[in-house]
Amino acid sequence: MLEIARTAAEVRAFRKRIEAEGKTLALVPTMGALHEGHLSLFREARARADVCAASLFVNPTQFGPTEDLSRYPRDEAGDFAKMEQEGVSFVFAPKDAEVLYPEGEETRVEVAALSTRLCGASRPGHFKGVATVVLKLFNLVQPHVAVFGEKDFQQLQIIRRMVRDLFLDIEIVGAPLVRESTGLALSSRNAYLQGEDRERALGLTRCLQAMRAAAVSGDARGSQALIELGRGVIEEHGLVLDYLDIVDPQTLQPIAEIGGTRSGQILVAAFCGKVRLIDNAPLA
């Protein structure tokens, strides 16, 4: 049976019971609109702890003034059913935003060095909102383990750095990105894609595939040549590129030269109509 908490006091009471029982606890933070990618995170969490908990909260502080907060897909009842089917024991679904952001609250958390590029440049303040809400959840739930998807690669690295810098005793697990049978990375925003847009959106996947193939074969040498190749694939699919880069997986700084023992991660974001999609893959 899935236990649903609406207030911070209810979360604290649950955490005390877990501690009294001597059990380990894993947390999967979500904004709902659950898909197979989220379900894979629950399975990973259950494999790593005695009890799996989740959060369900569309966090307003990570949305910009022109972004899709009001129309972000929501299906609380359906999400609860999926959680229960996957063996989630507890979910924190705040009754309103004031539970996490009470009147007069003004504290924000920022991992500056990792937040200024890529999605951080396109969505100013986004990662400050992400880091703040995740730290609030960590402080309330006090999990031993927290699981995040590698699809949001920059977010994952920011959370890892925050946990390290603030000496939080939490193991951060990155779970593999999950794709549709077509290769499209699973995302709650895929629900916005209609008709031909789903085919056009595959440009992100094919961009990554083309860049990786060229790197392995040696047909394109140097990061800039690979990026130009990927940019062409994005344009061929009628997408509007936001960014495309090859970065160091830990620092998220651009890698100019590829090869040798240095690994690189390709990160891409593009607009399919009004829908902004992201994807990533290791270069090799």
pLDDT digits (tens, 9 = 90+) for 137-190: 999 999 999 999 999 999 999 999 999 999 999 999 999 999 999 999 999 999
Q: How many CA atoms lie within 13 A of 234 on its CB side?
A: 26
Q: Does domain 188-282 have CATH number 3.30.1300.10?
A: yes
Q: Provide the pLDDT for residue 260.
A: 56
**126 is known as an active-site residue:** no
Asked if pLDDT for residue 259 goes beyond 70, the answer is no
CATH number of 3-175: 3.40.50.620
pLDDT computed for residue 102 by the predictor:
96
pLDDT tier at 38, thresholds 50, 70, 90:
very high
CA–CA distance, 187 with 157 (Å, rounded to integer): 19
pLDDT in tens, 43-52: 999 999 999 9
What are all long-range contacts of 158-164, with beta carbons under 8 Å and residues at least 24 apart?
A: 158/111, 158/114, 158/115, 158/127, 158/130, 158/131, 159/130, 159/131, 159/134, 161/111, 161/113, 161/114, 162/109, 162/111, 162/131, 162/134, 162/135, 163/138
- Asked if pLDDT for residue 210 goes beyond 70, the answer is yes
Query: Alpha carbon of 64 to those of 46, 77, 284: distances in Å?
Result: 34, 27, 34
- Where are the domain boundaries for CATH 3.30.1300.10 in the chain? 188-282
Residues of the chain with CATH 3.40.50.620: 3-175
From 38, 126, 144, 237, the catalytic residue: 38
For 69-122, how does the pLDDT look when each residue is reduced to its tens digit (9 = 90+)? Answer: 998 999 999 999 999 999 999 999 999 999 999 999 999 999 999 999 999 999
Ramachandran area for residue 128 (φ above 0: left; ψ -120 to 50: alpha; else beta):
alpha
Q: What is the pLDDT of residue 124?
A: 95
